[in-house]
Amino acid sequence: MRASGHDVDRFNRWAATYDRHYLQRLILEPVQKTLLEVAVSEKRDARAILDVGCGTGRLLRSAEGLFAGARLEGVDAAPEMVKEAQAMLSAGSGITFRVARAERLPFPDAQFDLVFSTMTFHHWADQRAGIAEIARVLRFEGWWLLADFMASGVMRYVRRLFRLRRFPERRGLDPMLAAAGLRVLGQRRVPGVGSQVPVLVIGRGAMKGVVR
């Protein structure tokens, strides 16, 4: 999992054209739309939201109109992505973007009601350390909404065949979450993307609503 430095270099080069890439329409847009639907329907009263691996900030810019008055923070390991995110902020926006890795978040404990991670988890150099950091900055009843490739069915064997260890199976993710005091509370399928990329709702306690 130590390929993160290479990933950062690649995303730095990609930053200027990232929002025009075809993967935005095919994967990232439906994933982020579904994640925001879950966030709004289940935790509309969130007052502080963090996006880990925020890229150019599209998800937080969308969230700003849905969570009026909420504190919105975005971090990304790629400095050029953060520059693009900052450049796209509209006048009067309250979103803050900064360079930081998931494994070392620049925030005090228990700060956020919601943490977002969309298609970034497999880039983290140390997933266990990143999970521990998210658990640290989440408030006790806060939720981490994680969307990434989760091998299931026949794709589990493809993952093992090609040694795609950075893409966990649920049976590998659950122990890492448990070590940080977290667990999967529910999930939502992303329409048009398939069952391999769910939005997982992760937290410490029972859910107030139903996520399917």
Q: How many domains does the chain have?
A: 1
DSSP letter, residue 26: I
Task: Establish if 210 belongs to a structural domain.
Answer: no
Q: Residue written as tokens 């989760």?
A: 150
Task: Establish if 158 belongs to a structural domain.
Answer: yes
Task: Establish if 169 belongs to a structural domain.
Answer: yes
In the predicted structure, residue 49 carries a pLDDT above the cut 70: yes
Task: Establish if 89 belongs to a structural domain.
Answer: yes
Q: How far apart are CA 183 and CA 204, in angstroms?
A: 6
pLDDT digits (tens, 9 = 90+) for 131-159: 999 999 999 999 999 998 875 543 443 34
In the predicted structure, residue 187 carries a pLDDT above the cut 80: yes
**pLDDT-derived band at 210, boundaries 50, 70, 90:** very low
Closest CA to 39 of 206, 205, 199: 199
pLDDT digits (tens, 9 = 90+) for 9-38: 877 675 666 666 556 566 788 999 999 999
Counting other chains too, the contacts that 102-107 makes at CB distance below 8 Å and 24 or more residues apart are: 102/52, 102/53, 102/75, 102/77, 102/129, 102/130, 102/133, 102/134, 103/129, 103/130, 103/133, 104/133, 105/50, 105/52, 105/75, 105/133, 105/134, 105/136, 105/137, 106/75, 107/50, 107/73, 107/137
Token digits of residue 68? 């009026």
Which residue range(s) make up the domain with 33? 4-203
Domain of residue 58, CATH code: 3.40.50.150
Task: Establish if 92 belongs to a structural domain.
Answer: yes
Q: How far apart are CA 212 and CA 207, in angstroms?
A: 12
Task: Establish if 64 belongs to a structural domain.
Answer: yes
